[in-house]
Amino acid sequence: MRMLLCALIALTLTGPAFCGNFAVLDADGSAAAWNAATSDWTVLTGRWNDLAASGGDFAVMETGGTGRVAAWSRTTSTWNQNSRAGWDQLLGSEGSFAFLQSGGDRRVTAWTQNGPFWADSPRTRWDAIYGSSGNFAALQTAGDGRVSAWNRATSAWTESPRARWGRVTGSSGNFAALQTAGDGRVSAWNRATSAWTESSRTRWGHVVGSTGNFVAMQTAGDGRISAWNQATSAWTESSRTRWGHVVGSSGNFAALQTAGDGRVSAWNQATSAWTESPRTRWGDVLGSGGNFVALQTGGDRRVSAWNQATSAWTESPRTGWGRVAGSRGNFAALQTGGHQRVCAFNGATSAWVESPRTGWGELVSSSGNFIALQTAGDGRVSAWNQTTSAWTESPRTGWGEVTGSWGNFAALQTSGDGRVAAWDRATSTWAESSRTGWGELVGSSGNFAALQTTGDGRVAAWGATAGTWTENPRTGWDGVIGSSGNFAALQTTGDGRVAAWNEATSSWTENARTGWCGAIGSVGNFATLQADGTYVSVWDEATSLWDELYGTWTDLLGAGGDFLAIGPTGAAAWEHTTATWCPIDGTFTIAVASPTVAPAIAGDLNGDGNVDHLDYLVLKRSYGIDEATGLGDGDSDADGDVDFADYCAARASIEEAFAERGLQPPGAFHANPEPASLALLGLAALPLLRRRRR
Ligand SMILES: [Ca+2]
Ligand SMILES: [Ca+2]
Ligand SMILES: [Ca+2]
């Protein structure tokens, strides 16, 4: 297996999978957009004075003048001007733009990078636009009160046949319109079909969206509730009435009676059915990962969790709970009085598991795991692991602060020795730093950095891969920031040194120059600027090298692993797949960054333009998290978590990449498993490789 993977030569495809594009406006009114995929600047002359970014693309507008607009496409690297003028409102949504004329005909137009570039709504006199996942809806708040939705997939506008709508709610690219006067009708627009579907009942007063589904609630009268399912475009009412509160979670909904019996009911998008808890007198409900937990805020203070896998409510046998927290479909409950017990509900098993110890005062969640802290007494910490459903205490006491990242936790003694320890979700073990006197903790993509805020000013980083703390040999550090699992330490006083820590090698690399005055991170890379503006320098995690550029620099922007340096006579973009600076002259007054949201190549998770085993390692590292910030974390479907759907999205292209080279893909890819964790995926052969994400 090792030979095989080493023999796999990366397939060079087109452009990076994720990147940051940048655009600037010059004092003379021209605009320039920088394309990270092609490493070129495209200039558009004009008198532009407004600039906006959306999903890797840009739009410019002449406000106060003719009201002309133009948008730049990352696919074609061209600026496209609209033939009409008089535009004065601009809204971006995931790589689409909509423009509105608030005077004259009050037209609305939508633009998408894939073309046909401009789509005017056939009707005029629009008053408001709403965006959701790249689609738009336009509403007439006066006159007929019409509503129309624009679909990015077809670039067509579809009006509801009915008029007199007063409010629009968007969710994952779908829209719901509500009549705020008259009959109180509700209608949902489905991006899959571009069709509007009305509920047969009237008198709705409130609409809530969740991952493309909607719930309408009657705020007066019977207090009915109805859920619209995007899979069927059908509305399903709860048989019971008098609901007063509704919350959504990953496409499911829970409704609570805020008066009367205090019943709770959950709606499952898989079945379109409502399931009530047999018990009454619930006072609060919370959602997480499509599951819900209900809490009695008075009386016995019971807690019950609803699981979307079974549509069943499961109560904790104990009473007296005062606080609940949710994470990735799991829940934890804390007794705020009495014995101060803590327990966790596992979404995989529907079981509540208590910690044997009592006296817990604080609860922190991270990617499905929880940590409890004793805020009084011994100051113990205990972490609960969703994989094993077990609580694991640190052998040491006296902890005062906990922080979570990607399902891992770190604890800090805020008094006494000032020790620091990190807990690893893969092993459920605690690793302490041998040094003491730490004062600050920073988490990043499952790793942690500790800083001494007094004394020597040391800095140390803990990486989940190595499982150990690595100190920087120098002292006098007073700042640390994280980016995609790497850290940068900075001396903002004294010499002004900067050093970056790479999780792949667990080592620190210091910049040879001094006088640095600040740093920013972007998808694992860092950029820093000298106080006198002479140099800007980027640290590249692929090589652990600093790449500097001489000039006069005053500001920095970062996006998608790339950076833009700006100075009084020009700007320069640094792009991570080529690791080069690309300058442009000008007196730039406005600069914006636009990270791409969609993968250029399915499966290229580390954004190096290739699909290979390194992308597989990205997936392995982040599998199971719900704190993903983009494709660089393995989140192919951009829903904020890394789960089986992301695994499936990447699998096809990784398999294809192996097949094109006549190689057998990794075992897991042809075994077609449904993993609870990627630990099951036969990746044991991979750790021999040097892991890097670019
Ligand atoms: Ca790649
Ligand atoms: Ca995802
Ligand atoms: Ca997901």
pLDDT above 90 covers a percentage of the chain that reads: 79
More confident of the two residues 113 and 244:
244
pLDDT above 70 covers a percentage of the chain that reads: 92
Tens-digit pLDDT profile for residues 112-144: 988 778 999 999 999 999 999 999 999 999 899
CA 504 vs. chain centroid, Å, equals: 23
Ranges of CATH 2.40.128 domains, the chain: 162-315
Rounded to the nearest angstrom, the distance between the alpha carbon of 568 and the centre of ligand 3 is 44
Ligand nearest to the CA of 615: 1
- Whole-angstrom distance, CA of residue 443 vs CA of residue 640: 17
The total of other beta-carbon atoms located within 10 Å of residue 46's CB is 20
Ligand nearest to the CA of 649: 2
Rounded to the nearest angstrom, the distance between the alpha carbon of 377 and the centre of ligand 1 is 49
Q: How does the average pLDDT of the chain come out, rounded?
A: 91
Rounded to the nearest angstrom, the distance between the alpha carbon of 497 and the centre of ligand 1 is 32
Rounded to the nearest angstrom, the distance between the alpha carbon of 138 and the centre of ligand 1 is 39
- Integer CA distances (angstroms), 201 to 185, 212, 217, 248, 416, in order: 7, 21, 11, 21, 64
Phi, psi of 418 (to 5 degrees): 70, 45
Tens-digit pLDDT profile for residues 174-229: 999 999 988 999 999 999 999 999 999 999 999 999 999 999 999 988 999 999 99
Please state the pTM of the whole predicted model. Answer: 0.91
- Whole-angstrom distance, CA of residue 93 vs CA of residue 80: 17
Tens-digit pLDDT profile for residues 494-516: 999 999 999 999 999 999 999 99
User: Per-residue pLDDT for 679 more than 70?
Assistant: no
- Whole-angstrom distance, CA of residue 504 vs CA of residue 510: 16
Beta bridge partners of 61: 50, 69
- Whole-angstrom distance, CA of residue 366 vs CA of residue 369: 5
pLDDT bin (cut points 50, 70, 90) of residue 63 is confident
Beta bridge partners of 53: 58
Ligand nearest to the CA of 642: 2
Give mean pLDDT, residues 226-254.
Answer: 96
What is the structure's pLDDT at 71? 97
Q: Which two tokens stand for residue 53?
A: 């970014």
> Are 587 and 32 spatial neighbours (Cβ–Cβ below 8 Å)?
no
What is the structure's pLDDT at 616? 83
Rounded to the nearest angstrom, the distance between the alpha carbon of 328 and the centre of ligand 2 is 12
- Whole-angstrom distance, CA of residue 137 vs CA of residue 152: 11
Give mean pLDDT, residues 9-32.
Answer: 77
What is the structure's pLDDT at 58? 97
- Whole-angstrom distance, CA of residue 410 vs CA of residue 412: 7
> Are 430 and 442 spatial neighbours (Cβ–Cβ below 8 Å)?
no
> Are 612 and 11 spatial neighbours (Cβ–Cβ below 8 Å)?
yes
Beta bridge partners of 245: 256
Ligand nearest to the CA of 13: 1
- Whole-angstrom distance, CA of residue 4 vs CA of residue 306: 46
- Whole-angstrom distance, CA of residue 33 vs CA of residue 42: 5
What is the structure's pLDDT at 693? 40
Give mean pLDDT, residues 610-637.
Answer: 86
Rounded to the nearest angstrom, the distance between the alpha carbon of 605 and the centre of ligand 1 is 5
Q: Which two tokens stand for residue 483?
A: 């980016």
Phi, psi of 667 (to 5 degrees): -45, -45
Ligand nearest to the CA of 8: 1
Ramachandran assignment for 134, one of left (phi > 0), alpha (psi -120 to 50 degrees), beta (any other): left
What's the longest Cα–Cα distance across the chain?
A: 72
Ligand nearest to the CA of 17: 1
Rounded to the nearest angstrom, the distance between the alpha carbon of 251 and the centre of ligand 3 is 11
What is the structure's pLDDT at 397? 95
Give mean pLDDT, residues 12-28.
Answer: 80
Q: Which two tokens stand for residue 641?
A: 């978590």
**Nearest CA-CA partner of 277 in 237, 322, 321, 312:** 312
Give mean pLDDT, residues 423-452.
Answer: 96
Rounded to the nearest angstrom, the distance between the alpha carbon of 297 and the centre of ligand 2 is 34
- Whole-angstrom distance, CA of residue 90 vs CA of residue 646: 32
Strand order in the sheet with 147-151: 128-132, 135-139, 147-151, 156-159
Rounded to the nearest angstrom, the distance between the alpha carbon of 657 and the centre of ligand 2 is 21
The contacts of residue 69 (CB under 8 Å, 6+ apart) are 59, 60, 61, 62, 81, 82, 87, 90, 99
> Are 251 and 292 spatial neighbours (Cβ–Cβ below 8 Å)?
no
Give mean pLDDT, residues 479-492.
Answer: 97
195-198 and 186-190 beta bridge pairing? antiparallel
Least confident stretch, 365-374, 617-626, 678-687? 678-687
What is the structure's pLDDT at 305? 98
What is the structure's pLDDT at 683? 38
Give mean pLDDT, residues 416-439.
Answer: 95
Query: Would you call the peptide bond into 116 cis, given omega within 30 degrees of 0 as the criterion?
Result: yes
Rounded to the nearest angstrom, the distance between the alpha carbon of 605 and the centre of ligand 2 is 12
User: Per-residue pLDDT for 407 more than 80?
Assistant: yes
Tens-digit pLDDT profile for residues 625-670: 999 888 889 898 888 899 888 888 888 777 777 677 676 665 555 4
Rounded to the nearest angstrom, the distance between the alpha carbon of 341 and the centre of ligand 3 is 32
**Nearest CA-CA partner of 516 in 571, 556, 572:** 556
Q: Is 678 helix (H, G, I), strand (E, B) or coil?
A: helix
Rounded to the nearest angstrom, the distance between the alpha carbon of 499 and the centre of ligand 1 is 26
Instruction: Look up residue 57 and give its amino acid.
Output: D
**Nearest CA-CA partner of 327 in 406, 213, 429:** 406
- Integer CA distances (angstroms), 485 to 445, 462, 646, in order: 5, 10, 20
Ligand nearest to the CA of 693: 1
Q: Is 631 helix (H, G, I), strand (E, B) or coil?
A: helix
> Are 273 and 312 spatial neighbours (Cβ–Cβ below 8 Å)?
no
Least confident stretch, 140-154, 439-453, 474-488, 678-692? 678-692
Quote the strand ranges of 203-302, DSSP E. Answer: 206-210, 213-217, 225-229, 234-237, 245-249, 252-256, 264-268, 273-276, 284-288, 291-295
Strand order in the sheet with 323-327: 323-327, 330-334, 342-346, 351-354
Q: Is 281 helix (H, G, I), strand (E, B) or coil?
A: coil
> Are 615 and 658 spatial neighbours (Cβ–Cβ below 8 Å)?
no
pLDDT bin (cut points 50, 70, 90) of residue 19 is confident
- Whole-angstrom distance, CA of residue 89 vs CA of residue 52: 11
> Taking the domain 162-315, which CATH number applies?
2.40.128
